[in-house]
Structure 1
């Protein structure tokens, strides 16, 4: 049988890695070849759970994609921005303020960063199903690559996120499938329609049911993300005046909305995390590695046992100035109707207690929190705090933005 024909795609040439001596975060590197068996999962569980309780970040290697497959995904991600005409991008722009979904393109100059400076991030979000035309229309130039992107989302979901969810459940002495069953892939999942925060908040929710969430992949600075969706996102250089006005910060310190974020490592340094000692440190690039972090959704479900780490994006080092950052992300979220309250059946939580960020008696669903924060991010008026940071309240949850 002849091999399937792979559609041609121009080769993306990434920037060279920085040679500057940066203060790198000491994150553990997890060999994910161990994740293929229950015995292997048990061996990596202590290291994974320890990292997610301290830094909330870790690296994964040997995740099942080769260097060639990795390069191909970044080639496709680059084409999402360079091979699609501007008029088609404008037609496919997401109305995130109305729908609470980034599905489609987000143009630059959309979010307010600081002192009137707006972002230089262009992104494209794909629903996790990718190839279903009823869920999302894609640019014509990208149609030949949709089967590959669908396979890529499934790899992130089943081969990376699900094993991690099993490990996190083990760390809380819960059955392995506790969190997996809250993260379904198949089923009706068009959750990006117009929404009413008040009516959603008042609606009764049965958290024994778990319908699929809105999953996205993005490309940043051209990056790709997916929360049960794939996102491609690109970040572009700014003027010297803009850098001064924002103190070199491209995206304020924040925590992610969902449960697990998978970032496919790229060489332009910019990502920093706030370490337990209160210092910002850089996240290192490792060829064909994944950088994985915990988001708010998992912090809420674990009662604060696992930490949603504060991270930001800032101006790259001098030897990478002028390069755009092309990113590929998979953003994992619990099913839309899952209540974001702690799994109190955990023997761990029964022993150590919970660290609540809001009143769990009035916990929002994943959809309420996702759509509320998505529609507000970068466009809502934030309240200033005494420490100089900012905050807003999303469905009873205080969301902080770290300047």
Structure 2
């Protein structure tokens, strides 16, 4: 089997004016990455450096607050908003996989997303598209995060146009699936004060999981930790190139293509250096699709030789089951195919 490789793809031909040949080359490269890895790095995305610099500063300012100050912004797990303290989640449960210790993922996070008020005239409700909580302890956090959020959403929408071309569906196909998309920006911090964890234990920065929706656009600093599961069952270290964003497919993309495109398992392992965990930051923008969109394999990916692997499900139903696993500790019994891949990797 070929060596594991996450390709770097320049999407500038789709961000600005691009020739038909240049755009076709991007489509071919993205399609190949989606079929073979499920991950890619993109450059030419058009997000200004100053926007990313401001985001990093905003994250640093917020996560530097005392834990008790951050806990003011904890929200109910089902809302997927606000602050998540360390060891309050276990992503493995979203796959129906038992972690070594319940709710053992040591990362902390802050989530913001698109509220129902931004989708007038649609079926969006506060139940699926919650309002945001913004910390009042750090003045620069909200404007920096909002600016980056808008840029990341633009990149995700550009990618769905490329996806439509790759899948040979109408240009507006994903518009119908994402015109009131559940979009969330999840900002993560992998660092804890010395003495607050057992360094001899089996530490899990973020347990193995697949992303829930259509596509994820990830900014991450270049500290080691992210690992991606290869087709041969091996875990492989992945770090973004300078100026690149990591992009990976989620479960919605895999279901639409009957697993021809890969929703690849990944995890974060903590880099322990001299008895402490090195700090690592990331911000994942999840473009998940409309809550009421019904997701099932597209006809072009189903045949007598390739029967449908998934029953139709709404984005709401799928995400609810996944969040009940990661946030409430209830195993997602519907994630049979993903759990089997984790088990195979452990045996290997």
Shared fold per TM-score greater than 0.5: yes
Q: Does 1:303 align with 2:258?
A: yes
Q: Is the 8 A contact 2:102 2:329 kept in 1?
A: no
Distance 1:255 1:68 in 2: 30
Residue 18 of structure 1 is matched in structure 2 by none
Aligned equivalent of 1:323, options 278, 283, 299: 278
Shift of 1:72: 1.4
Change (3 A) 1:116 1:257: closer
Change (3 A) 1:355 1:49: farther
Distance 1:126 1:215 in 2: 9
Q: Is the 8 A contact 1:265 1:287 kept in 2?
A: no
Shift of 1:89: 2.6
Aligned equivalent of 1:111, options 89, 92, 100: 89
Shift of 1:262: 0.9
Distance 2:26 2:243 in 1: 19
Q: Tell me, what secondary structure is at the counterpart of 1:219?
A: strand
Q: Does 1:400 align with 2:331?
A: no
Shift of 1:118: 2.2
Residue 33 of structure 1 is matched in structure 2 by 12
5+ residue gaps, structure 2, are 91-98, 119-129
Q: Does 1:77 align with 2:45?
A: no
Change (3 A) 1:276 1:370: same
Residue 216 of structure 2 is matched in structure 1 by 261
Q: Is the 8 A contact 1:269 1:282 kept in 2?
A: yes
Aligned equivalent of 1:137, options 133, 151, 155: 133
CA offsets 1:88-109 (integer angstroms, 9 cap, x no match): 432320211xxx2321111112
Distance 1:219 1:368 in 2: 24
Q: Tell me, what secondary structure is at the counterpart of 1:377?
A: helix
Aligned equivalent of 2:74, options 52, 77, 93: 93
Coordinate RMSD, CA, aligned? 3.2
The TM-score with structure 1 as length reference comes to 0.70
Q: Tell me, what secondary structure is at the counterpart of 1:252?
A: strand
Aligned residues: 319
Distance 1:142 1:131 in 2: 25
Shift of 1:47: 0.7
Distance 2:33 2:274 in 1: 30
Shift of 1:364: 2.0
Q: Is the 8 A contact 2:110 2:186 kept in 1?
A: yes
Q: Does 1:251 align with 2:206?
A: yes
Residue 295 of structure 2 is matched in structure 1 by 340
Q: Tell me, what secondary structure is at the counterpart of 1:334?
A: strand
Residue 293 of structure 1 is matched in structure 2 by 248
Distance 1:89 1:365 in 2: 33
Change (3 A) 1:151 1:320: farther
Shift of 1:81: 1.6
Aligned equivalent of 1:219, options 187, 191, 209: 187
Change (3 A) 1:320 1:372: same
